[in-house]
Structure 1
């Protein structure tokens, strides 16, 4: 088995705003900081990027700027999900057109398709665009859970290459690895349980915490990928409070507060997300100290 292109830690990048608009200089600074910190890839316009409140033009611009700034130094996995299949196809087409290395496509939310509907959704994307797709399973947000049986069917399609699993269900990972084959890319979408996910055969994580602490996150995944489990456990202990604190209020408000505290961007969010509470701020600052970020 060759080493997968998508492995290690890939930050789910925030989309910085200033006075209501996409702050392009701040975004470039954030991307450069991530690459300098040793991350293994970048994920623009995911959930943490407040994609739900971006216009289509903003969405496309964030992807374009991420690809341009990365300049081939690390792979870019562009968020491209929608609960309308045709819209998802258009977003995947755009990701390919501007040079992204893959698309991250969430299971359709709100309309709650059946397993057969989920298969048909991803099959349509597979057939329409020649670009690797990572399937994003986050039932806590979408109200639909794509089963391992459906993923095993999708794994046989040429452009369906892996999963971002934000369920926190670790035994599922072992079954999925056996069912989907050795070339199936398995990325966690849940920072706190990623150590266990890696032990179950995962290849990495699309991470919120890496926004704030790229170097410690990269070191953690380098240890886990190399089987240095004592080092990985030490990294987990360093980061676990920060993993928790960044969800002490509606995401990504705590993450943007942390980045603002570091002087990297504004903490501005878009409604219905509001700046995080005073209690959350205190928790974030304490966790940043524990992680050695401040």
Structure 2
């Protein structure tokens, strides 16, 4: 039922204009580029790369509507929700329910107090039931990071939770999760630095900022691993890792936009208070893209 959620699914940046509004045409243009030129397999909006924590419910609906309309069912679209209460997640999910999204990508709460495991199970159960949409858990918040055991419990007990976007840099946690969930869930990697081993271990795809920064290379990497061409996979990994090393910073969405700009794609500007890419960051990013053959 959820086999369409596979492969390279870039988390799109949100195209903000100088006045903070959503640049719908830039959003459409990049969705078209990613689908028609880069040949990606799906799109995600309103996640952390899209600065989803800054978006209102109306903006979340608008962005989702623009991208689903542009995708026109050629690829599935996932809407991200970053919110701190079960009720707000449900409200946002219901706001996009009629737009044809394939799933919601939902973070655990990101305030400093962590709900216990039973409360976490109830949180995702209520979201899935109330929105009537498939849910992918975006496992990224450091102090609310969910163990492979808890993620497996949620997937087992909660109808409607169909997978996990496993973030952070610990590849062993991804490997454990893949073994524990087996074929019951769509396990996507967001270990940007280690896409090649993630795919080799069996991740069904990726939703990660590096895919937006360098989509064509990431599609090539996915296809190489699926074809069993690990020599090419390793070569592509060696091109992508320096790109990730150059862009990884607290202003990652801004640096992802700079990669887009260097490749002729408009991504708008960060939403304050996130700073734009600094002059010190631009040089290493340009060099990494040049060495990767992207510019």
TM-score range with shorter-chain normalisation? over 0.9
Which residue of structure 1 lines up, in the alignment, with residue 32 of structure 2? Answer: 32
The 3 A distance-change label for structure 1 pair 72 and 266 is closer
Question: Residues 63-212 of structure 1 correspond to what in structure 2 (within 5 A)?
Answer: 63-110=64-111, 111-140=113-142, 143-156=143-156, 157-212=158-213
Task: Name stretches of at least 5 consecutive residues in structure 2 with no aligned partner.
Answer: none
Cα deviation 1:21-66 (Å, max 9, x = unaligned): 1111111111011112111110000001011222221121001111
Which residue of structure 1 lines up, in the alignment, with residue 12 of structure 2? Answer: 13
The 3 A distance-change label for structure 1 pair 266 and 65 is closer
Which residue of structure 1 lines up, in the alignment, with residue 253 of structure 2? Answer: 252
Which residue of structure 2 lines up, in the alignment, with residue 227 of structure 1? Answer: 228
When normalised by structure 2's length, the TM-score is 0.93
Is residue 173–residue 201 contact of structure 1 (8 Å, CA) maintained in 2? no
1:207 is displaced (CA, Å) by 2.0
> Alpha carbon RMSD of aligned pairs, Å?
1.7
When normalised by structure 1's length, the TM-score is 0.93
Structure-1 separation of matches of 2:267 and 2:107: 27
Question: Residues 46-57 of structure 1 correspond to what in structure 2 (within 5 A)?
Answer: 46-57=47-58
1:233 is displaced (CA, Å) by 0.9
Cα deviation 1:122-168 (Å, max 9, x = unaligned): 0111221322111000133xx21112222112112321111000022
Is residue 52–residue 81 contact of structure 2 (8 Å, CA) maintained in 1? no
Which residue of structure 1 lines up, in the alignment, with residue 281 of structure 2? Answer: 280
The total of aligned residue pairs comes to 291
Range 157-166 or range 51-60, more displaced: 51-60
1:99 is displaced (CA, Å) by 0.8
The 3 A distance-change label for structure 1 pair 78 and 214 is same
